[in-house]
């Protein structure tokens, strides 16, 4: 069945309920992390990150904020990479769901370089943060266009190095692929939210229009497997 993908959907995901908690949410967070890793999503964020930090001093700690961090899987990947490269980092995970943050903390006890904040983006607490790089993996599609532009304006004014956006390409093929990948996954929330996420995803020209409207002159958009866009924004503030 084909869905109307001409415009970004404004349908909310089940996970957009910030008061959700319990084993089903834990299972969903873990499953999303596994699917993201299996389909190469982690590599998209990491390759963008390494582009931004490759010319920086490894002995000076880089502050990296991960928006909508979920169970913290991406931060742990970054922490492992920084340890391997002997690079100093301070990693901050931000998520609007208090239960999700508590779960991420439990999974990250062996990573003292990672801390977590329960809060929405943007919020007063978020605006007080200082950071060099912002990671947005499967996060910005939760925003309406106006909210996305407002958040990017705030973030680009403060990030000293840049932003790495890793998000979904809105297409019928992406929906077909997701349905195949989740065919034998019993978690209905993963299945429903996954389709909604793709419906809320982007087309390349939409991202390019955001960059133009916000005067982000030093940014590049790349299509990546599996139906993702990597958007690297250099700020050099």
The pLDDT tens digits of the residues spanning 63-107 come to 999 999 999 999 999 999 999 999 999 999 999 999 999 999 999
For CA atoms 34, 38, 44, 47, the dihedral sign is positive
Helices 23-38, 73-84: axis angle to 10 degrees equals 50
Q: What is the pTM of this model?
A: 0.96
Do 138 and 41 contact (CB within 8 A), yes or no? yes
For residue 30 the two structure tokens come to: 């873990």
**Distances, alpha carbon 235 to alpha carbons 63, 155, 192, 194, in Å:** 15, 10, 36, 31
Encoding tokens for residue 143?
A: 């925003």
CATH 3.40.50.720, applies to 14-234: no
pLDDT at 123: 74
Q: pLDDT for 164-187, tens place per residue?
A: 999 999 999 999 999 999 999 999
- Whether residue 162 contacts residue 234, with contact meaning beta carbons closer than 8 Å, is answered with yes
Q: For 45-62, what is each residue's pLDDT tens digit? A: 999 999 999 999 999 999
Q: How would you classify residue 169: left for phi > 0, otherwise alpha for psi between -120 and 50, otherwise beta?
A: beta
Domain ranges of the chain: 14-234
């Amino acid at each position: 069945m084909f869905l109307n993908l001409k415009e970004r959907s404004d349908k909310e995901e089940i996970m957009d309920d910030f008061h959700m908690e319990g084993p089903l949410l834990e299972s969903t967070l873990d499953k999303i992390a596994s699917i993201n890793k299996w389909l190469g999503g982690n590599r998209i964020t990491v390759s963008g990150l390494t582009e931004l930090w490759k010319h920086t001093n490894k002995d000076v700690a880089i502050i990296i904020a991960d928006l909508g961090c979920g169970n913290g899987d991406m931060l742990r990947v970054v922490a492992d990479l920084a340890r391997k490269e002997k690079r100093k980092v301070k990693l901050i995970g931000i998520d609007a769901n208090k239960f999700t943050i508590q779960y991420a903390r439990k999974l990250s006890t062996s990573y003292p370089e990672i801390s977590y904040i329960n809060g929405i983006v943007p919020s007063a607490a978020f605006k007080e943060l200082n950071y060099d790089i912002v990671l947005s993996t499967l996060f910005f599609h939760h925003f309406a266009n106006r909210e996305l532009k407002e958040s990017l304006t705030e973030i680009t004014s403060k990030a000293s190095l840049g932003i790495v956006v890793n998000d979904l390409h809105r297409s019928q093929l992406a929906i077909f692929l997701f349905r195949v990948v989740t065919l034998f996954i019993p978690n209905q929330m993963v299945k429903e939210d996954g389709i909604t996420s793709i419906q809320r995803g982007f087309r390349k020209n939409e991202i390019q229009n955001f960059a133009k409207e916000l005067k982000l002159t030093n940014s590049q958009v790349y299509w990546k497997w599996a139906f993702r866009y990597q958007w690297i924004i250099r700020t050099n503030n």
